[in-house]
Chains A and B, each alone.
Chain A
């Protein structure tokens, strides 16, 4: 091999590995993030050509200003009942997350994932869609289920893998599924649901239906090939789908620069596919609602897909198995320049004269009681007992639903397992 010093007069190449601004021990610093004023971004007609709105991928759609007023063309002008309902759902998600996090720490379940700081994205997004639209969520959009009135006890039973779990204890906690509520089965494999949503939307178009699909992906998982597949197919067939990216800055321990966000935005990915891209303040429930509604209207008008990047911050650890103090500054979330989504919506309602601290505190108390009651109810059907072969489910169901019917080899294996358990219990 040639000595590099002997090569022609060329500089040595250097690998660039992106690094976040702060690491443990550093003070949180978001001075590199531009905080544009609310109301500045134009709202094009839904029929606007994607190439005429290229600038949108580098802007940030914001509706709520620093005082809590709704300003600019993206103000969805929601009635106060809707605003209060969204606030209630976001608070409910927060109360639910706290309760389930605690349940995991108490050993009642093996695992949990909170969505703290991201409540507006799933909740306002769900409220901007029709109930019959199909959502293809990741594991951090529990707010969709809450917004669609899915019973908390059902969610908890899934987390506990107990007798009430409709998924029969087969899925890791939080990987909910409910067809009737338009909540597609969550998979552990990242990004897979993104092109599936496109296929669902294509099917809706093939059948001349009026329903659309919506999909969510984290900024980290946009690096998966399925993200590219989804955008290609969505663009090619003008599939009626809303493709959401939740950029919460962190994929477990890797900051968004490692996913390819260092020199561009995730919304800008849309440009190369010839579809419109919007970039939205994910902590602004009204902006989330307005952008989702715009994209949904566009899809419903046969104008094709929209990619939306929701800019937000993952306030808590990635999961109950994660400790963020190992890779980022402590309490970074508290200094996030776009604030807290719940507080901002609350402030807006207060500003409108439709809310106050007393009502807010009372609502939190009411929701907390509701969550506790649901938990009590769910726990009557059992919690995960990791150290027992007296499973909460009927153990023979383990072999069901691999196929529509049990083939011979599964029948034999079921008999084998039953015999093992019977022997062990003696």
Chain B
């Protein structure tokens, strides 16, 4: 066991897997010599050489495409898109090619590749360093979408993603790279060191893709969250003394429907919480699933607490970010309803 933050856990996942499998190659902008703008690949090029860890031109479409070509050859590429906000030039390659290769070739070709990308807001990143585009990938078939919320899961899920034979989009909530964030921007950030999930096993282990975690067991209401929002939910229910069940989805495609259903049928109330914009966001899918499958158990309408349907604003960060006040209000509403 070593105490790690999320960056270190992600870095370590690369290291563990590259040691085990010579077919793993890593590429992206600034990920080589420099070790990545968030240090996620620090030291890897020195250890594994430029043959396996190399800088890429600034071309997200190209990065994803050569990743696809390398995976088609038989390698297991892990490519980085510097910010999720910049993944769109690679969108055609991810949606039209990576997500469909196995299907369109009836399994003749498949693409064991991971597309890592820091995502989410709460860092004064403005319009192009804060977005949460997970719904776009959840909507595209053939792609798994994974979003960890702590160092232990980050390492275990990334190893599972690298070992998965299907393409995985791996979004890393950069707000919590260094410590969990409960939405109280006016308080100092606690580093991961004081959190139990920062105890990370040294070698190989996996956290299964498609399995949610119950971050807090409770009876009064279910909160469905992932990424930074898990910590926000935990903080708010502790402050308000609400016996909520907080579910950290960890994977949004395929989502862990059993855990969701079991929880909502028990609590009868459900809040869906995400940073992404509301309309046609992944919360809409969650809300629909809960409505379809738990209708007769619901005591109140499912409520979505999300980013607003605007581009992510810079100076208005804390008015936009779905923080403790907004979640607190939603909890009161759902519990009183």
Tell me if A401 counts as interface (CB < 8 A to partner B): yes
Least Cβ–Cβ distance between A214 and chain B, in angstroms: 12
Bitwise interface map of A from 135 to 166 toward B, beta carbon under 8 Å scored 1, else 0: 00000000000000000000000000000001
**Across the interface, do A206 and B104 meet the contact criterion of CB distance under 8 Å?**
no
Query: What's the minimum C-beta distance from B89 to chain A, rounded to whole angstroms?
Result: 7
* Segment 97-139 of B: residues with Cβ below 8 Å from A: 97, 100-110
- Chain B residues lying within 8 Å of A202, measured Cβ to Cβ, are 66, 69-70
A203 touches B74 (CB 8 A): yes
By a CB distance below 8 angstroms, the chain B residues around A194 are: 65
Asked if residues A206 and B66 are in contact (CB atoms below 8 Å), the reply is: no
Complex-state Cα separation, A200 to B75, whole angstroms: 9
- Asked if B144 is at the interface of the complex by the 8 Å CB criterion, the answer is yes
Inter-chain CA distance A300–B24, complex, in Å, is: 24
Q: Which residues 18-67 of A have a CB within 8 angstroms of B?
A: none
Which one, A185, A200, A201, contacts B104 given CB within 8 A? A185
A194 to B65, alpha carbons, bound, how many Å? 9
A203 touching B104, Cβ below 8 Å: no
Q: How far is the CB of A381 from chain B (nearest CB, A)?
A: 15
Q: How far is the CA of A412 from the CA of B153 in the complex (A)?
A: 28
B166 beta carbon closer than 8 Å to chain A? yes
Given A206-B52, A226-B61, A197 and B69 contact (CB-CB distance below 8 Å):
yes
> In whole angstroms, what is the CA distance A401 to B52 when docked?
29
Is B68 engaged at the interface, CB distance under 8 Å to the other chain?
yes
Q: Which residues of the partner chain B approach A185 to less than 8 Å between Cβ atoms?
A: 101, 104-105, 108-109
Asked whether B257 is an interface residue with its Cβ less than 8 Å from the other chain, the reply is: yes
**Measured CA separation A187–B72 after assembly (Å):** 14
Contact digits for B224-267, partner A, Cβ 8 Å, 1 yes 0 no? 00000000000000000000000000000111011000000000
Instruction: Tell me which of B59, B69, B74, B89 contacts A196 (CB under 8 A).
Output: B69
B142 adjacent to A403 (CB under 8 Å): yes
**Cα distance A321–B191 in the bound complex, in angstroms:** 62
Chain A residues in 8 Å Cβ range of B25: 203, 206
Given contacts A199-B65, A202-B70, A230-B62, contact A236 B102 (CB under 8 A): no
B188 at the binding interface (Cβ < 8 Å): no
Beta-carbon contact of B97 and A189 below 8 Å: yes
Of the 9-residue stretches A109-117, A169-177, A359-367, which lies at the interface with chain B?
Answer: A169-177
Closest to A231 in B: B62
Contact of B102 among A195, A196, A403 (CB under 8 A): A403
Q: Which residues of B contact A233 (CB under 8 A)?
A: 56-57, 59, 62, 65-66
Q: Which chain A residues border B51 with CB–CB below 8 Å?
A: 206
B61 near A201 (CB under 8 angstroms)? no
State whether A403 and B104 are in contact (beta carbons under 8 Å apart), knowing that A196-B72, A203-B73, A229-B62 are contacts in the complex: no
Give bound CA distance, A171 to B165, whole Å: 22
Question: CA separation between A256 and B32, bound complex, in Å?
Answer: 40
Q: Is A184 in the interface zone, CB < 8 Å from B?
A: yes
Residues of chain B in range 31-57 having any CB-CB distance to chain A below 8 Å: 51-52, 54, 56-57
Q: Considering the chains assembled together, what is the distance between the CA atoms of A194 and B66 in angstroms?
A: 9
Question: Is there a chain B Cβ closer than 8 Å to A107's Cβ?
Answer: no
Minimum CB distance partner of A408 in chain B: B257
Which residue of the partner chain, among B67, B92, B109, B164, contacts A199 with CB atoms under 8 Å?
B67
Q: Which residues of A contact B100 (CB under 8 A)?
A: 187
B166 touches A403 (CB 8 A): yes
Cross-chain contact A187 with B62 (CB below 8 angstroms): no
Chain A residues with Cβ below 8 Å from B62 are 195, 226, 229-230, 232-233
**Does B210 lie at the interface of the complex (its beta carbon under 8 Å from any beta carbon of A)?**
yes
Is A229's CB under 8 angstroms from B59's CB?
Answer: yes
Q: Is A204 an interface residue (CB 8 A)?
A: yes
In the complex, which residue of chain A has the Cβ closest to the Cβ of B141?
A: A402
Q: A204 — which chain B residues lie within 8 A by C-beta?
A: 73
Give the docked Cα–Cα distance between A167 and B52 (Å): 33
The digit string for B63-105, where 1 denotes a CB below 8 A from any CB of A, is 0011111111111000000000000010011001100111111
A388 to B337, CA, bound (A): 50
Smallest beta-carbon distance B307→chain A, Å: 25
A192 close to chain B: CB less than 8 A: yes
Cβ of A372 within 8 Å of any chain B Cβ, yes or no, is no
B75 near A203 with CB under 8 A, answer yes
Assembly CA distance A134 to B89 (angstroms): 26
- A401 / chain B contacts, CB cutoff of 8 Å: 102-103, 105-107
Query: Which of B56, B96, B165, B166 contacts A189, CB < 8 Å?
Result: B96
Q: How far is the CB of B254 from chain A (nearest CB, A)?
A: 3
Is B61's CB under 8 angstroms from A229's CB?
yes
Contact of B70 (CB < 8 Å), options: A200, A229, A407: A200
Query: Which one of A203, A225, A400 has the highest number of Cβ atoms from chain B below 10 Å of its Cβ?
Result: A203
| CB pair B106 A167 closer than 8 Å | yes
Cβ–Cβ contact A196 & B96, under 8 A: no
* Most chain B CB neighbours (cut-off 10 Å) among A166, A202, A408: A202
Instruction: Give CA–CA (A237, B56) in the complex, Å.
Output: 9
- Assess whether A192 is in contact with B92, with CB atoms less than 8 Å apart: yes
Query: A229–B166 contact, CB under 8 A?
Result: no
Min distance, Cβ B45 to any Cβ of chain A, angstroms: 14
A196, A198, A402, A409: the one within 8 Å of B103 (CB): A402
A387 at the interface (CB under 8 A from B): no
Q: Which residue of B lies closest to A167 (CB)?
A: B106
Within 8 A of B (CB), among A188-236: 188-189, 192, 194-204, 206-207, 213, 225-226, 228-230, 232-233, 236
Starting from the known contacts A171-B104, A198-B69, A402-B141, 8 additional A-B residue pairs (CB-CB under 8 Å) come to: A185-B109, A199-B66, A200-B69, A226-B92, A401-B107, A402-B142, A403-B102, A403-B254
Question: 19 A-B contacts, Cβ less than 8 Å apart?
Answer: A177-B105, A185-B105, A187-B96, A192-B93, A194-B65, A195-B66, A197-B69, A199-B67, A199-B68, A202-B66, A202-B69, A206-B70, A226-B65, A228-B59, A229-B59, A229-B61, A401-B103, A404-B165, A407-B254
Residue positions of A touching B, CB distance < 8 A:
134, 166-168, 170-171, 175, 177-179, 184-185, 187-189, 192, 194-204, 206-207, 213, 225-226, 228-230, 232-233, 236-237, 400-404, 407-409
- What 10 A-B pairs come out closest when comparing CB atoms? A199-B69, A199-B66, A229-B62, A407-B254, A195-B65, A203-B73, A196-B69, A200-B69, A203-B70, A189-B96
